[in-house]
Structure 1
Amino acid sequence: MEPFSSKYYHSFCNVYLFLLGTSTALNLKVPSELIHGVKGRPLIIPVEYSFNTTVCEIQITWLLNKPDSKSTLLVTAKNRSVIPDLEYQHKVSLSPLNASLLIKELHTGDEGEYTVKVTIQGKHTESQSHKIQVTVDVPVTKPLVHMEPHLGAVEYIGNLTLRCSVRNGTRISYHWLKSGVNIEAGSRYSFSLNKQMFFISPVTKEDIANYSCVVKNFVSQQESEPITPNIYYGPYDLTVNSDKGQKGEVFTVDIGEVILLFCSADSNPPNNYSWFQRFNNETVVITRGPHFEIKAENTAQRTAKYVCCAYNNITGKKDETQFTLVITASGQEKLSQKGSSLPSLAVITAMSLFVIVSMVIIFLWKRCHPHKVIKQKLYSGTQSDYVRTQTFSGHEDAMDDFGIYEFVALPGGSEPSKVSSNKTVSSSSSAQCQDTHTTIYEVISHVPDPL
């Protein structure tokens, strides 16, 4: 029986074989000679074949060759009839049209070398065969990284060992990454035979990074969570800074001002800090801690030398830096200027208040004592006004007339008639008197004489 009877297909095959200059009637193809399968999953081993002649029978045979065992017949097919081996009848199946083998569920025992053989019979009998290697692997699980010692190591003294462990997986290969970059063996880096263990000897500060282990096989790949080793180092780069933004070996501060100093260094664990002052070839402990506050005093000594010391309890190393504090006089001048400006401002303020209060008192005094104004006007008048006042008051003594008066202006026509009759008044004088107003000082209240 002819599975492929298309005239077009036969014509194409004849032309193809003619161009190749070969007389082979059967063509068997295997896409890959190595196939990796996953345990517990199905697997198809693909095979294709073709022929360029008329055939009457086609036979397909699959064999399994295991290490240290004989070949086992899995299945055979003749034309469209498939006959599996009784041992594998529920495990494999065959499609005669393309000779591909299906393994329904892979097991570890299914690993080995598979052989496919295709035979055609027409005018002539011809056969071809191929071998395919099949592996069966268990997927890897996520690995874990363990560090020894887990508390860490001291720089240039201690060593570290990182070990990668996986619960499940077959044919596992191990790879190590440092901050995402593959690690190669070097002067301080080394691995075990299968790279499951990674060694650092000795450790340095540069070894502080994220380390991870990558495990893989033919069918899977997993990466562990990163782990950062604890490495004790330092102190390094000891510096002193101030709250005024100054740093270095010299700090300036004005008299009377306060400066806050900060001592810092790169270290693990954090350093213990101590502050010393050097005076007359002696070193005196001032305080402990990373901060130190100094108040500039007005003393004859305008410079002082200090030392900040950093000590790491784990590494046993220490470092110190010396700096000089310079006290300037600009602060004292500012204080003196500020002190001299305060009295001047006080004097000006006091004088202003005195003027304002005096004006208010004068204003109120004038409002409440109008007789003083009257008295000033009386004394500033002419002698004739005084005589006239005395005449109208009826008293000869001015002290008797002391009191509060009311000014009343009368027209000239109502001039009193108490003028002496023996005196002659001229017509011109009479005319002037008619135009003149007469003032009467009437006593409103009498102020008694002082005792």
Structure 2
Amino acid sequence: RNPWRVHQCPWRWLPGRLLARGILQASGQIYISPDSLTGLKGFRTILILENATEDAREYSWHRGTNGTADNFIVSYKPPSHSWQTGPMYSGRENVTKMGDLTIRRSELNDTGNYTMRVDTGNGTQTATGWLEVQAYRLRTAPDIWANASSLVEDMDSVAAICYTNATNVKWYVDYVQVSSNDRMTISPDLKTLVIHRVSRYDRTLHCAIESIPEILQRSEIISLTVNYGPDSVWLSTSPDIFKGVLSAKIGSQVMMECSATSKPSPRYQWIHNGSLLSFSEASVTLPSLTLEQTGRYRCVVGNPVTQLTMYREFQIQQQPQHIPVVNKGFYISGAKVVWLIVFTVLGGVYVCGILIYALVSHFSTRCLAKSPWLRT
């Protein structure tokens, strides 16, 4: 194995990427992370190059501890964005733009030393690491069972059981991993999930186990049918409704339509002045409005599964007939207006003079009647 390897580093497994924490090299020196890597047969393996300079001219990977032409696998040249393969290339290797070596569908014979050469223009740096590919038998995928698949939102609950001997069970609702919360509970052994109040967004259920950390084996997917609604009823008409009233002319066309959010699709009923109409569609058209068709309308929307019903009401009334107003006024020219104002003013002065004269005469007569010397 790699002669400069000091100890077995702890590794971690990632889906499609199997890597470990390696030994840090001196500052400025490239190294392969990790220095000792364990991969799995059939999975992708990545040998990560660390501490490489940004101005590298070529990254080349080789089998063994020497970077010779005979054991050359594949290389990548950043300036020209070109790849070149060598005699050890199997068709499954590739070099990333960061200089990492990826091996697709790793095989047992991929085990061995790997050497990286970096051409910086001012010289060449090398690093060697060890890869061991192992065969691993995965556990049997778990089975799953649920006590119901057709439910009503916010009313029904569902319980599911994951049948497996594994202890690291994960639960997924609508493909999102879940944990116990105020709406659902996972048992202490992780094998039972109970959703106390199902939601319309709880569309699927499945469980999974980790035979290898972060590599999941999933159960079959249980599809849930969650019935809901109607949430609300929207009403659209032509002509438009204003403050609950639709005004239309007798003989004109009137269109009415209801819509609602519901699963399954809702049923529609129309009521006119308290009487059930024969219409059972979401939209109704009155081609020629009659006086008998005016009055109060109600659109009733019901869900046969959730047993919920909602409605909207409005009034159809006859549009009032507008009587045209005939202007019978007369027209006066500008000059006549001036003379009219003058005569009006003069007439007012004349009338005021007469009133003043009458008042003065009246008071004068009374004073003379009361004077004693006039009586004798």
* Normalised TM-score (structure 1): 0.37
* Normalised TM-score (structure 2): 0.44
Pick the structure with more helix per residue: 1
Relative contact order: is structure 1 or structure 2 higher (C-alpha 8 Å, sep ≥ 6)? 2
